[in-house]
Amino acid sequence: MTWTAASIPDLSGRLALVTGANSGLGLETCRALVARGATVVMGCRSRQKGEAARQALLAVAGGPSPQAAAEDVNPSWGALDLLDLDLADLASVRAAAANVAASYGRLDLLINNAGVMAPPRSLSRDGFELQFATNHLGPFVLTSLLLPLLRQSSAGRVVHVTSGAQYFGRINFDDLQGERHYDRWRAYSQSKLANVMTALELQRRLQAEGSGVLSLAAHPGLARTNLQPASIAMNGSQLEALAYRLIDPLFQSAAMGALPQLYAATAPQASPAGHYGPNQLGGLRGHPTPVRMATAAGNPELRQRLWDVSEALGGLQS
């Protein structure tokens, strides 16, 4: 049977944190989760954009917006909260995790969705290459700091949002930050391969400790979001702008692109370390289905090495 947002089970009482919640797949993920009754914490680096997105969700869905008339309020809706979170700033990541612990004291779902794609080489606040920092290291540290809350949940899940770019990825341990040679697409593919490697390694560790928390990965195929326009704005490539215009008919909506991560986050039949993507056109479009991970992610030594390096860079080793 085709899986859609209507297939999401009742999420009343569940607490979800979605990163990059103000735009694209993150926004659609919040919309679908809150519509099924979850309380959704929208992790955003811009308070202004986050609040605009939150208000847009509340207004469109007739949720508990201050503007909505009492009779318009949909009683099955959950709640939407904002959380300041800049993944390219580890102090912000640590503060966000501490805020979740202090404000809620619990967490059921973490969806590591935020990302940047193929900017010219630049550095995070902590001096890491921006894609490594935003797409891998920030989410890695956030996940580690939130695991104690997820472990307390009866249905804890972590979803790592990756990309088809993982299939072209290689973890260049000799030059992780692209200091000697930076290729912006290689750095993106590396970060997206790191997402699936982290998903697998985290699941292995959770199972070894006897935890019921699930770690999964998902990719959206090609989805019409702000990812490509933001990438063009950063790198100024007219060739890439033209390429996106030419392949535009292949892109599916952000709502469709969000389905694999929603499946990973909520479907009862999703498996530990499962990896989900669209089921048509070689994974570019369609409804969620299990899809293969990059072959490189299957190497346990590389996963362990990436984990150790990430713990060290993220300041997580005691």
Judged by CB under 6 A, the chain residues 281 through 300 that form the site for ligand NAP are none
Residue 259 contacts ligand NAP per CB under 6 A: no
**188 noted as active-site residue:** yes
Residue owning tokens 């811009």: 46
Which window, 63-71, 115-123, 196-204, 233-241, contacts ligand NAP (CB under 6 A)? 115-123
Give the nearest distance from C-beta 126 to ligand NAP in angstroms. Answer: 11
Interactions with ligand NAP, residue window 3-22 (CB under 6 A): 19-20, 22
Query: Rounded CA gap, 259 and 175, in Å?
Result: 34
Residues 85/45, Cβ–Cβ less than 8 Å: yes
Q: CB-wise, 87 or 110, nearer to ligand NAP?
A: 87
Options 167, 188, 263, 276, the catalytic residue: 188
* Separation CA 167–CA 176 (nearest Å): 18
| 31 lies in the binding site for ligand NAP (CB under 6 A) | no
**88 closest CA partner among 113, 141, 125, 119:** 125
φ and ψ at 41, to 5 degrees? -95, 120
Site string for ligand NAP, 197-236 (x = CB under 6 A): ----------------------xx-xx-xxx--x------
Point out which residues pair with 150 in neighbouring strands: none
Instruction: Give per-residue burial for 209-240: e unless 16+ CB within 10 Å, then b.
Output: eeeebbbbbbbbbbbbbebbebbbebeeeeee
Give catalytic residues, as residue numbers: 188
Please report, as ranges, the residues that interact with ligand NAP according to CB under 6 A: 19-20, 22-26, 45-46, 49, 85-88, 113-117, 134, 161, 163, 219-220, 222-223, 225-227, 230, 257
